[in-house]
Structure 1
Amino acid sequence: MHGPHPNIKHPIPMHSRVGYLKPLVEAENIEIGDFTYYDDPDGPDRFAEKCVLHHYPFIGDKLIIGKFCAIAEGARFIMNGANHAMSGFSTYPFNIFGHGWEEGFDVSTWEQEVRGDTVIGNDVWVGMDAVIMPGVSIGSGAIVGAKSVVTHDVPAYAIVAGNAAKVVKKRFDERTIRRLLEIAWWDWPVEKITRNLNAIRGADLKMLEAAQ
């Protein structure tokens, strides 16, 4: 037994609403790890179009999602193209409409609002209708509650919820979190993961350490 192949677009037979995103998303500015899936009743094939918003290659920011992440229906990743210049009296983007309004626009006033890549770690669960704002990093093992709006970085193995999302609790104590990040089971060969599933899904740290 070795688990499903990570390049299967629809890995659950007769259940086409779930799809592994790595083989489905071809955008050059999106990176997705093995076994990360999106669940949508309309199907996962349009994930990049429906869920990754205001993402323009000329800006240079990336959406980076790790391995073994679970992304629920309606999750949205807002990218830097949504930002407006805020240093003047108005935030209205006059320049993009042209016809003379582009004259005199100082690009640096917009560039200072760019917040970098959005990075989702490994084994992250993003709940239904959650919104991830530009430049946010979410640590491995974290859980983002349904309808949360994530405006700041989320620590590894934290549970966050609300608008703006705040840490509700940590899933494990600090020593366990540190060891899990050191072990990084998601980087193991899939055959090794398969052999140690009981430890991974059963929270058996000693067994996981022994398998390291």
Structure 2
Amino acid sequence: MTHGPSPDTKHPIAAQPRLVYLKTVITNPNIIVGDYTYYDDVEHPENFERNVLYHFDFIGDKLIIGKFCSIATGVTFIMNGGNHRTDWFTNYPFPVFGQGWEVAMPNEWPYKGDTVVGHDVWLGYDATLMPGVQVGDGAIVAAKSVVTQSVAPYTVVGGNPARQLRQRFDDATIQALLEIQWWHWDIAKITRNLTAICGADLAALRQAI
């Protein structure tokens, strides 16, 4: 019995070269992507890293994306290098240009930490995630949303700035799913229990544990 495409396959659907398993095309060590997470882009799926903006090595912030995520065309991540000092009288980053302007170099620039996307997250078309946000497991970010604050697990958010639209399930079901963490099962177990994972019967999923 087969257990789906290998997570090391670049194009897991041979007839759809627009879709790539993302970890196979990442070269930046500060972008960490879990198995089976895919990026869909009809023009340049291999160039996902161009969507991770202001991601400078000297800052060291990370973009961390979990397993089994679905990332649509045009999803963009703004990293900490895009932050300016807003407590100054000017927005202009004079010190970075040097040649005498480095005299105003601050001890630190704004830094909001790593950007973390959980497991089984769906990021819709043209969504933008701002620096340091955390998107919980099972969450959905609607198309063209701008995520400025962290998103709770199994929550649907949308808009600019993104706001909670609804929870996908009741609190008890969400808690159970976060405890089950099916995405950490080995792939053979996932395959055996796909009808439960691809369903909405919590009792059936519990039986698979």
Q: Give the TM-score taking structure 1 as reference length.
A: 0.96
Counterpart position of 2:84: 84
Distance, in Å, in 2 between the alignment partners of 1:203 and 1:58 is 45
Distance, in Å, in 2 between the alignment partners of 1:53 and 1:141 is 25
Distance, in Å, in 2 between the alignment partners of 1:198 and 1:166 is 32
Q: Paired residue for 1:133, among 130, 133, 154?
A: 130
Q: Which runs of 5 or more residues in structure 1 are unaligned? A: none
3-state secondary structure, aligned to 1:169:
strand
**Deviation readout 1:42-90 (Å, 9 max, x if unpaired):** 13110012x1110012101100000000000000010000001122100
1:201 paired to 2:209: no
Counterpart position of 2:113: 116
Whether contact under 8 Å (1:16, 1:43) holds in the other structure is: no
1:47 paired to 2:44: no
Report how many residues are paired.
208
1:36 paired to 2:33: no
Distance, in Å, in 2 between the alignment partners of 1:121 and 1:210 is 24
**AA partner of residue 106 (structure 2):** D
1:203, distance to aligned residue in structure 2 (A): 1.5
3-state secondary structure, aligned to 2:102:
coil
Q: Give the TM-score taking structure 2 as reference length.
A: 0.97
Distance, in Å, in 2 between the alignment partners of 1:198 and 1:67 is 19
Root-mean-square deviation over aligned CA pairs: 0.8
Counterpart position of 1:5: 6
Q: Which runs of 5 or more residues in structure 2 are unaligned? A: none
Counterpart position of 1:191: 188
3-state secondary structure, aligned to 1:46:
helix
Counterpart position of 2:151: 154
Distance, in Å, in 1 between the alignment partners of 2:41 and 2:101 is 41
Displaced runs of 4 or more, over 6 A: none
1:107, distance to aligned residue in structure 2 (A): 2.9
